[in-house]
Amino acid sequence: MRYGLISDIHGNLEAFQASLEALSKLNIDKYLCIGDIVGYGADPKACIALVKSLEPVALVSGNHEWGVLGLLDLEYFNEYAKEAILWTKVALDKGDSDYLLSFRLIYKDDGMTLVHGTLDHPEDFNYTLDINDAYISMKLMKTSLCFVGHSHVPGIFYSEGDGIKANAAPEVKIEEDRKYVVNIGSIGQPRDGDPRASYAVFDDEKKTVEIRRVAYDIKKAQEKILKAGLPGRLASRLSLGE
């Protein structure tokens, strides 16, 4: 089985479409969504509809879903995120909100776990940025593999003895005696200096996970953000990958 993993789309339809086009060439069997379909970008409804069409086997809620649904205090967010959430609330209809409300905080099956931030108090939406953050989730993992998003910075972390290491390459072979925390990055608003959309592929037969990147029409996404009256910073950062 080959899984396509998507996260932090953030209403960026151009980035999402480019990612799905790339994934369509990789013989993906099923999709997994790790949250934040909405927020920041100008196409939340279209992105929700596109996620629905994929019929993901797992849908995990992000902090922006919770913000739009009124489940997370808006004081959690910075001024740009807060403004985007208020705009998104108006842009969505009840059907969209009901769909977002159906997402769970943690998904777990026999082979993997999904959470937007960390397994430690997932409702607080803490970040997984380094080996210390990954260790927090590893202590709580009941599976050998955990996929996260939220930070918009891709990275692969794995256990080795009593310690944890970061994998330098974007691909890793899953070994039975180790645990892995994989941050798949962001489709719609990368923050690692690379403006290309980030997503992942997990092959549970070959036991491999790969973080992949694809270029998209950034200018078009930026123009939509500005036309919608959203903060200019949300447009400018897309070309910088920050």
Q: 14 lies in which domain range?
A: 2-240
Q: Residue 129 burial (CB < 10 Å; 0-12/13-18/19+)? A: middle
- Vertex 212: Cα angle to 210 and 218 (nearest 5): 165
Residue 161 pLDDT grade (very low, low, confident, very high; cuts 50, 70, 90):
confident
CATH number of the domain that 211 lies in? 3.60.21.10
Count of domains in the chain?
1
Question: Could you report the per-residue pLDDT of 34-50, keeping only the tens digit for each?
Answer: 999 999 999 999 999 99
Q: What is the pLDDT of residue 168?
A: 84
pTM score, whole prediction? 0.95
Q: What is the pLDDT of residue 130?
A: 92
- pLDDT > 70 fraction of the chain, expressed in percent and rounded: 100
Indicate the average pLDDT of the chain.
96
Question: Could you report the per-residue pLDDT of 66-118, keeping only the tens digit for each?
Answer: 999 999 999 999 999 999 999 999 999 999 999 999 999 999 998 999 999 99
CA–CA gap between residue 157 and residue 37 (Å, rounded): 24
Secondary structure of residue 160 in the 3-state scheme: strand
